[in-house]
Structure 1
Amino acid sequence: MSVDFRIPEIETERLRLRLPRASDLRAHVAFRASERSRGVGGPFDAASSFHHLAGVVGQWQLRGYGRWMVADRETDEPLGLVGVYHPDDWPEAEIGWTVYEAAEGKGIAREAAIATRDFVYGTLGWTRIISLIMTDNDRSIRLAERLGCRKDGTFTHAEYGTMDIWVHPAPEAVQ
């Protein structure tokens, strides 16, 4: 049996949002092993990081949407993961972002999150999307605010604890 499975690629001014590749694994493992991964529940070991990246690819197959590897448009250097994250134990689909150290503080997460939101509203036709952020993840909270999100309650996850729910502006507010 053959499945025609394609993950759309999106290009922005500086970035390419694309399918994760085996060559991205080293950067992904390094991020997830670092203290910087605390904002997403880490640090994690290499085996867990491999399974995580495989799950990123798998969600596209299971749901028809997911997260992309964010890569530099010119060099293809992997810079992080951004896109729609929606495990079964989440209250609803969210735009999630994780950037690797080389991308930190350069507006990469914002640029990729805006491209993701445009995809959610324009391609998927949704009218609502959230981001879940751990209550002490100050950098992600500031990004949510820059994206025009508003805090709307909390969600408590069995593994990650309490996270704030940030609702993105509706399609008509960002078009």
Structure 2
Amino acid sequence: MIGLETERLIFRQWEPSDYEQFSKFYSDEKNARFVGGVKSKEEAYRLLATYIGHYELNGYSYLAVAEKTSKNLIGTVGLWNSRPWPEPELGYWILSEHQGKGFATEAGLAVKIFALEALKFDSLVSYIDPSNEASIQLALRLGAKYDSEIDLLDFGLHLVYKYW
């Protein structure tokens, strides 16, 4: 998955220089409310390390996504499937200054194709907070369809959007 590219984006492993933007994203309630909640700097660091560890264990994770030309971090798009997770998930968040440019759709489509074709996942979903309308719209643009509701571990009620 590292090195996956689209027309404008490249997927790469997280770098120490990404930490400041990562922790800033998670320190803001507006950003973090749909992705596990606000994190202290230490909690953000541990989450970033978790993303890296998930990749080492599985060969995929939520990766850093950067613009090809500027190399600037724009956010994360990737796959999650820890042991207690119900089924593989396509997840995403984009830094506010890069939203509205089509990056999430572009990256999400690349990850969906990678998961279903290269990794041969039998299923792929996005778990979405019912009040996260932007994420619902993105899942629909990526070809997902509403499937069900789930009480998602410690995260509460989520809608399940399934990619077929």
Q: Same fold (TM over 0.5)?
A: yes
Instruction: Indicate the residue corresponding to 1:27 in structure 2.
Output: 21
Matched residue SS, 1:10? coil
Contact 1:16/1:71, CA 8 A, preserved across alignment? yes
Instruction: Indicate the residue corresponding to 2:125 in structure 1.
Output: 130
For residue 110 of structure 1, the aligned residue among 105, 108, 127 is 105
Deviates more, 1:14-23 or 1:86-95: 86-95
1:118 deviates by 1.4
1:79 deviates by 1.0
Structure 1 unaligned blocks of 5 or more? 1-6, 171-175
CA deviation map 1:138-165 (0-9, x unaligned): 1101101111211111111242101111
Instruction: Indicate the residue corresponding to 2:48 in structure 1.
Output: 53
Matched residue SS, 2:25? helix
AA matched with 1:93 = P
Contact 2:87/2:123, CA 8 A, preserved across alignment? no
After the TM superposition, which segments of 4 or more aligned residues of structure 1 sit over 6 Å from their partners? none
AA matched with 1:60 = Y
Contact 1:135/1:163, CA 8 A, preserved across alignment? yes
1:135 deviates by 0.9
CA deviation map 1:19-72 (0-9, x unaligned): 111111111011000121111121111111111111111001112221210111
1:149-164 equivalence runs, <5 A: 149-164=144-159
Aligned length: 163
What TM-score comes out, normalization by structure 1 length?
0.88
1:37-76 equivalence runs, <5 A: 37-76=32-71
What TM-score comes out, normalization by structure 2 length?
0.94
Give, in whole Å, the separation in 1 of the partners of 2:104 and 2:52.
Answer: 19
Identity %: 31
Contact 2:80/2:91, CA 8 A, preserved across alignment? yes
Give, in whole Å, the separation in 1 of the partners of 2:77 and 2:43.
Answer: 19
Contact 1:91/1:155, CA 8 A, preserved across alignment? no
Contact 2:88/2:123, CA 8 A, preserved across alignment? no
Give, in whole Å, the separation in 2 of the partners of 1:23 and 1:99.
Answer: 17
Contact 1:16/1:73, CA 8 A, preserved across alignment? yes
Matched residue SS, 2:97? helix
Contact 1:154/1:162, CA 8 A, preserved across alignment? yes
RMSD in angstroms over aligned alpha carbons? 1.3
